[in-house]
Chains A and B, each alone.
Chain A
Amino acid sequence: MVPLISITIFLPLLAAALLVLPLPISTRTAHLIGLTVSGLTFLGTIAIWLQGSGPAGSFGQIEEVAWIPSLGVAYRVGVDGFSLPLVLLTTSLFVVSMIYSLRITERARSYIALFLFLETSCLGVFVALDLVLFYVFFELTLVGMYFIIAGWGYEKRQQAALTFFIYTLLGSLPLLLAILALYLGSNPRTFDVRALIAAPPLTGLAATLTLIALLVAFAVKTPLFPFHTWLPAAHVEAPTAGSVILAGVMLKLGTYGLLRIGLQMLPEAFRELAPFIAGLAVFSALYGALAALGQTDLKRMIAYTSVNHMGYVVLGIAAAAATTNRATLALALDGATLQMVSHGIVTGSLFLLVGMLQDRAHTRQINDFGGLLKTTPMLGWFFILAAFASLGLPALAHFPAEFQIFLGAFGVWPIAAALTVLGIVITAGLYLRAIQAVCLGEANQRWASLPDLNSRELFAVVPLLLLVVLVGILPGWLLDVIHRTTERLGG
């Protein structure tokens, strides 16, 4: 059998290695390599998707090679209903980023090499079935993103990159501690994710402390209040494609880890702490929405709505942990997983569109714009579509996800769910305000000569928006895969 997953995740890394070798590669060829390789990787994940997640309730397409047998560490990869949608999301967003990045001419080879390196690390986190491997990839994403922000970001990039690196490393080291605790608690000692899920190794105080370490780690990454302060700076200063990957893929590393390691390996401790986690999630969602409301910079605004949307994901996971009803559990987790995908494609499109706007106007201040529908109709309408999707309009991607999360959470904590719905109202308000200020009204003469989207930009953003609509109207193809895993959990 062909080791499809390994080939797919390491293909970008190989191409990245090729790009840094001292070969005569022109900027054009480098872009061609970037596009082709990210495209092939995308096709690879389609093939993985078609092969499916294996037997219901466990992992499929497992590939395993011994690494450090004395310590129970091995190279193990595989997919299930949680990781498959995220893998597909990752490769689609990377293709889109590569298309958008065709405009980059400054040190394009290093830029593309870093993105491909980042793609391998992100995919690796989702498919890793070994905690050491998971940690390795988790940390490598930091290194890749640090250099992308520091090298190609906007004015205050050095500072933002530094904050990002130190903050998230501070977060990921408790993860190492938690992983070691899980390892030392297991018998026989192993880092194998499957074994640790099948027989959760820790109980009592040790489990609670481990979960707290995990929470710190993943709350930084997700991000949850009060660990979110790195996010606006990093998003605002990152180059557009970097923001897309940061928001679209890298925030999911946190929630995915919470799901995979927190919920699945420490179920009892998670159940105990669930009310606190849910409280944090609700507060974070409301805080994110309110903070977004206060922004005048479009990119910062979208960055804060990420805090809001990711709060819903955590609420869904917490509700799944607290409930004893298997149907509610599946409902909440289906919603949480789908929300990760929806947030990836919706926020990805929003960041792309704002990036395109900034490329033209060299400003992101909401009040600088006006009447974009008249000057650049395509850009305007696409922005409106993406904004509607982000505020949770039915028939667009966030709706089925948030609906299931609220339904699941309502069965467990009605008040928390009701409070969170307030978040949707605030987001709706802020997006309508932004649409009104940017797209509607009298055309600002300053922007009269702005060109509308060109073919490169259309190729980047249209597929994503189609996906937003598709997931909104027909989420079934995603939910079926997710549900095959979630229906076997609990009980």
Chain B
Amino acid sequence: MGRDLALLLPEISLLIGAVLALCAEMLHRPRWAMLLSLIGLVVAFGWSLTLLGQQTSVFMGTYRIDTLGVWAKLILLPLVALVIILVMPEVQGSDREGTVYSLLAFTTLGPVVLASAGDVMFLVLGVLLSSLGTFALVAYPRTDRATEAGMKYFVYGSVTEAVMIFGLTFWFGATGSTLLSDLPKLQNAPLLAAAGFIAVLIGLGYKAAIVPFHFWSPDAYDGAPVAIAAFLSIAPKIGAIFALAQVGRDLSVEAINWPLILAVLAAVSMTYGNLAALAQTNLIRLLAYSSIAQAGYFLLGNVAMGKSGLAMQALVVFAAAYAAMNLGAFAVVARVGRELEAFNGLGRTAPWTGGAMVIFLLSLVGVPPLAGFAGKILLFGAALDAGYTWLAVTAILNSVLSLAVYLRIIVPMYQSPQPQSQPIPARSQGLKLVAYMMVWTVAFFVTVGLGLFVQMIVGQVK
């Protein structure tokens, strides 16, 4: 028991940080709440570092401390710390400001639990944990749009989660256990395996915003504060994809050809995401569709799971890359504005902001030597290695398509500024500016540096 708790120190510190932050909020000390959440995240990150290289599980195999679980923490904890800093300028001064910080820290547990799941109950718990907090976060501004967004997200979430729990009962019934490591027993029960897998796919697909479970995402992102949208587009996605990988490690291909199902969903997701993004003029919606497409690339790693030695490395590297470049892009939008027009001439009026945005967007396309390239080359390599050449080709064609999407933002940035275009709103001054700058700088250096120092991750992931 003592060993188990010691291995859970990251989760425990995170939780304590979130609870203390909530206490601070009750005392009307939002700044303390922010600080306490951040401290919780940093301490949790420190503990997670000590777990690198562990391949074990706690609580009788139900909770895994393995490559996926540990790396999910190493990626998500710093990410959420940055999201907390990024959300500060948006919610500062509103009543219940502190709850946002506390909820963000608390909600992070969801994706972390998902990524470490060794038991279907943890899958359910992870999905619920990451949903409950985010419903509130999305609706936080209490505008009509935010309420509508929160409502859509909630209804969609409740239904998919109910379906997932229902489907998982088939697996439980067939194997007599809730452990993922007992899934190989399903080998001779293809129908039951399929029922459970599809249910899991619905639940996790909703979290990861994979087509056809994506309908909520553009509306929810658009209604929420920008930083919360950034969080929604990254943290639950990484958690859900890693959870699918945990399932994929144990589910046998004989029972149900799940890699093929995932491959089809991946192809549909990226194509639909990129095509839909082409038509958007609202940047948050554009990035929402782009993140649907990115989820499609991400799935390549799941498809190759078990068949290619590159799959695990691909998932981890792409997760880190995606977190950095997507957060960076959202951070720039948070400062510049949600409408595409706000970016006209930005490259001239604000060269640093513009330059950073170009780097984030090119990284999303996968232009070397940026982080997105490192992730994509591994993902494509894994898919080819696993024999899914058609999927790799689809992904590559989609990368071209996605260039058209992101160039729609880049091109106007370097045209002469339109007379009616506004300079960057003056409200981002002082501390707020520092907050934006901090998030960008970190996201920028990770996006640029990850490609060059990818060995640091790849060398750790076996």
Using a CB–CB distance below 8 Å, which chain A residues touch chain B? 20, 66-71, 132, 135-136, 139-140, 142-143, 147, 150-151, 158, 162, 165-166, 169-170, 173-174, 176-177, 180-181, 183-184
Q: Mark B81-120, 1 if CB is under 8 A from A, else 0.
A: 0000000000000000000000000000000000000000
Rounded to whole angstroms, the CA-CA distance of A327 and B43 in the bound complex is 69
A158 touching B415 by the CB < 8 A rule?
yes
A143 with B362: in contact, given A68-B454, A180-B384 (CB under 8 Å)?
Answer: yes
Give the contacts of B397-420 with A (CB-CB under 8 A). Answer: 397, 399-400, 403-404, 407, 411, 414-415
User: Min CB distance, A421 to chain B, in Å?
Assistant: 38
User: Min CB distance, B458 to chain A, in Å?
Assistant: 5
Q: Mark B349-386, 1 if CB is under 8 A from A, else 0.
A: 00000010000001001011100010001101100110
Q: Is B425 an interface residue (CB 8 A)?
A: no
A177 touching B414 by the CB < 8 A rule?
no
Rounded to whole angstroms, the CA-CA distance of A173 and B397 in the bound complex is 8
A150 / chain B contacts, CB cutoff of 8 Å: 411, 414
A147 touching B400 by the CB < 8 A rule?
no
Residue contacts A-B, CB under 8 angstroms, 28 given:
A67-B455, A68-B458, A70-B313, A70-B459, A71-B378, A135-B368, A136-B373, A139-B367, A139-B368, A140-B369, A142-B367, A143-B362, A147-B414, A150-B414, A162-B411, A166-B400, A169-B365, A169-B400, A170-B400, A173-B399, A174-B396, A176-B377, A177-B380, A177-B384, A177-B393, A177-B396, A180-B392, A183-B381
B458 touching A166 by the CB < 8 A rule?
no
B385 / chain A contacts, CB cutoff of 8 Å: 184
User: Min CB distance, B191 to chain A, in Å?
Assistant: 35
Q: Which residue of A lies closest to B451 (CB)?
A: A136
A158 touching B377 by the CB < 8 A rule?
no
A70 touching B458 by the CB < 8 A rule?
yes
User: Min CB distance, A261 to chain B, in Å?
Assistant: 16
A166 with B404: in contact, given A139-B367, A177-B396 (CB under 8 Å)?
Answer: yes
Rounded to whole angstroms, the CA-CA distance of A158 and B355 in the bound complex is 18
Give the contacts of B49-70 with A (CB-CB under 8 A). Answer: none
A162 touching B384 by the CB < 8 A rule?
no
Other-chain contact of A66, B384, B396, B403, B455 (Cβ < 8 Å)? B455
Rounded to whole angstroms, the CA-CA distance of A136 and B369 in the bound complex is 6
Given contacts A147-B414, A184-B384, 15 further A-B contacts (CB under 8 A): A68-B455, A69-B455, A69-B459, A70-B458, A70-B459, A132-B368, A135-B368, A136-B369, A140-B369, A162-B411, A165-B407, A166-B407, A176-B396, A177-B393, A180-B384
B400 touching A173 by the CB < 8 A rule?
yes
Per CB-CB distance, the 7 closest pairs between chain A and chain B, nearest first, are A136-B368, A173-B396, A68-B455, A170-B400, A136-B369, A70-B458, A180-B381
A143 touching B367 by the CB < 8 A rule?
yes
Q: Which residue of A lies closest to B393 (CB)?
A: A177
A184 touching B381 by the CB < 8 A rule?
yes
A132 with B377: in contact, given A143-B362, A165-B407 (CB under 8 Å)?
Answer: yes
B404 / chain A contacts, CB cutoff of 8 Å: 166
A169 touching B403 by the CB < 8 A rule?
yes
B384 touching A181 by the CB < 8 A rule?
yes
Give the contacts of B441-462 with A (CB-CB under 8 A). Answer: 452, 454-455, 458-459
B396 / chain A contacts, CB cutoff of 8 Å: 173-174, 176-177
A170 / chain B contacts, CB cutoff of 8 Å: 400
A158 / chain B contacts, CB cutoff of 8 Å: 411, 415
B397 / chain A contacts, CB cutoff of 8 Å: 173
Interface residues of A, dominant DSSP = helix
Rounded to whole angstroms, the CA-CA distance of A183 and B381 in the bound complex is 9
A69 / chain B contacts, CB cutoff of 8 Å: 455, 459
B368 touching A140 by the CB < 8 A rule?
yes
B377 touching A180 by the CB < 8 A rule?
yes
A71 / chain B contacts, CB cutoff of 8 Å: 310, 378, 458
B355 / chain A contacts, CB cutoff of 8 Å: 20
Rounded to whole angstroms, the CA-CA distance of A169 and B373 in the bound complex is 13
B380 touching A180 by the CB < 8 A rule?
yes
Rounded to whole angstroms, the CA-CA distance of A136 and B407 in the bound complex is 20
A151 with B377: in contact, given A166-B403, A173-B397 (CB under 8 Å)?
Answer: no
User: Min CB distance, B373 to chain A, in Å?
Assistant: 8
Give the contacts of B408-437 with A (CB-CB under 8 A). Answer: 411, 414-415
Rounded to whole angstroms, the CA-CA distance of A361 and B385 in the bound complex is 58
A68 / chain B contacts, CB cutoff of 8 Å: 454-455, 458
Q: Which residue of B lies closest to A150 (CB)?
A: B414
A176 touching B458 by the CB < 8 A rule?
no
B373 / chain A contacts, CB cutoff of 8 Å: 136, 139
A177 with B407: in contact, given A70-B455, A184-B381 (CB under 8 Å)?
Answer: no
Q: Which residue of A lies closest to B384 (CB)?
A: A180
Rounded to whole angstroms, the CA-CA distance of A143 and B368 in the bound complex is 10
B458 / chain A contacts, CB cutoff of 8 Å: 68, 70-71
A184 / chain B contacts, CB cutoff of 8 Å: 381, 384-385
B377 touching A165 by the CB < 8 A rule?
no
User: Min CB distance, A149 to chain B, in Å?
Assistant: 11
Rounded to whole angstroms, the CA-CA distance of A150 and B411 in the bound complex is 8
A162 / chain B contacts, CB cutoff of 8 Å: 407, 411
User: Min CB distance, A13 to chain B, in Å?
Assistant: 12
Rounded to whole angstroms, the CA-CA distance of A68 and B415 in the bound complex is 39
B365 / chain A contacts, CB cutoff of 8 Å: 169
Rounded to whole angstroms, the CA-CA distance of A166 and B400 in the bound complex is 7
A151 touching B414 by the CB < 8 A rule?
yes
Rounded to whole angstroms, the CA-CA distance of A474 and B404 in the bound complex is 47
Q: Which residue of A lies closest to B399 (CB)?
A: A173
Rounded to whole angstroms, the CA-CA distance of A67 and B457 in the bound complex is 12
B393 / chain A contacts, CB cutoff of 8 Å: 177
Other-chain contact of A177, B369, B392, B411, B459 (Cβ < 8 Å)? B392
User: Min CB distance, A138 to chain B, in Å?
Assistant: 8
Rounded to whole angstroms, the CA-CA distance of A285 and B371 in the bound complex is 40
Q: Which residue of B lies closest to A132 (CB)?
A: B377
Rounded to whole angstroms, the CA-CA distance of A174 and B355 in the bound complex is 28
Rounded to whole angstroms, the CA-CA distance of A147 and B313 in the bound complex is 33
Rounded to whole angstroms, the CA-CA distance of A354 and B300 in the bound complex is 49
Rounded to whole angstroms, the CA-CA distance of A173 and B399 in the bound complex is 8
B384 / chain A contacts, CB cutoff of 8 Å: 177, 180-181, 184
Rounded to whole angstroms, the CA-CA distance of A151 and B310 in the bound complex is 40
Give the contacts of B197-229 with A (CB-CB under 8 A). Answer: none
User: Min CB distance, A110 to chain B, in Å?
Assistant: 9
Q: Which residue of B lies closest to A175 (CB)?
A: B396
Rounded to whole angstroms, the CA-CA distance of A174 and B380 in the bound complex is 11
Rounded to whole angstroms, the CA-CA distance of A177 and B381 in the bound complex is 8
Interface centre among B367, B378, B459 (most CB of A within 10 A): B367
User: Min CB distance, B399 to chain A, in Å?
Assistant: 6
User: Min CB distance, A157 to chain B, in Å?
Assistant: 10
B368 / chain A contacts, CB cutoff of 8 Å: 132, 135-136, 139-140
B367 / chain A contacts, CB cutoff of 8 Å: 139-140, 142-143
User: Min CB distance, A114 to chain B, in Å?
Assistant: 11
User: Min CB distance, A162 to chain B, in Å?
Assistant: 6
Rounded to whole angstroms, the CA-CA distance of A70 and B313 in the bound complex is 10
Rounded to whole angstroms, the CA-CA distance of A70 and B462 in the bound complex is 10
Rounded to whole angstroms, the CA-CA distance of A166 and B402 in the bound complex is 10
Interface centre among B378, B452, B455 (most CB of A within 10 A): B455
User: Min CB distance, A374 to chain B, in Å?
Assistant: 40
Rounded to whole angstroms, the CA-CA distance of A257 and B261 in the bound complex is 37
Rounded to whole angstroms, the CA-CA distance of A66 and B385 in the bound complex is 24
A136 / chain B contacts, CB cutoff of 8 Å: 368-369, 373
A169 / chain B contacts, CB cutoff of 8 Å: 365, 399-400, 403
Give the contacts of B151-185 with A (CB-CB under 8 A). Answer: none
User: Min CB distance, B416 to chain A, in Å?
Assistant: 11
Rounded to whole angstroms, the CA-CA distance of A20 and B355 in the bound complex is 10
A176 touching B411 by the CB < 8 A rule?
no
User: Min CB distance, A260 to chain B, in Å?
Assistant: 18
Q: Which residue of A lies closest to B397 (CB)?
A: A173
A20 / chain B contacts, CB cutoff of 8 Å: 355
Rounded to whole angstroms, the CA-CA distance of A129 and B399 in the bound complex is 26
A180 / chain B contacts, CB cutoff of 8 Å: 377, 380-381, 384, 392
